[in-house]
Amino acid sequence: MKIGRLNHVGVATPDVKAAAKTYADLYGATDATEAKDFPHLGVRVVFVSVPNMQIELIEPLGADSPIHKFLEKNPKGGQHHMCFEVSDIVAARDAMRERGATVLGTGEPYIGAHGVPVIFVHPKDTGGVLVELMQAPGEGAH
Ligand X SMILES: CC[C@H](C(=O)O)C(=O)SCCNC(=O)CCNC(=O)[C@H](O)C(C)(C)COP(=O)(O)OP(=O)(O)OC[C@H]1O[C@@H](n2cnc3c(N)ncnc32)[C@H](O)[C@@H]1OP(=O)(O)O
Check: CB of residue 5 under 8 Å from CB of residue 53: yes
| Bridge-based pairing state of the strands 43-50 and 110-111 | unpaired
Closest CA to 20 of 52, 40, 39, 48: 48
Task: Quote the CA–CA distance of 67 and 60 in Å, as a whole number.
Answer: 6
By CB under 5 A, which span of 5-13, 39-47, 67-75, 121-129 interacts with Co ion?
A: 5-13
Query: Which one of residues 2, 128, 138, 141 is an interface residue with ligand X (CB under 6 A)?
Result: 128
Stretch 20-39 residues interacting with ligand X (CB under 6 A): none
**Minimal distance, residue 66 CB to ligand X, in Å:** 4
Closest CA to 104 of 45, 41, 53, 60: 41
85 catalytically annotated = no
Site for Co ion contains 132 (CB under 5 A): yes
Site for ligand X contains 113 (CB under 6 A): yes
Q: What, of Co ion, ligand X, none, does residue 70 touch, CB below 5 to 8 Å by kind?
A: ligand X
Query: Which one of residues 58, 61, 89, 121 is an interface residue with ligand X (CB under 6 A)?
Result: 58
Number of residues in the chain: 142
State the catalytic residues: 132
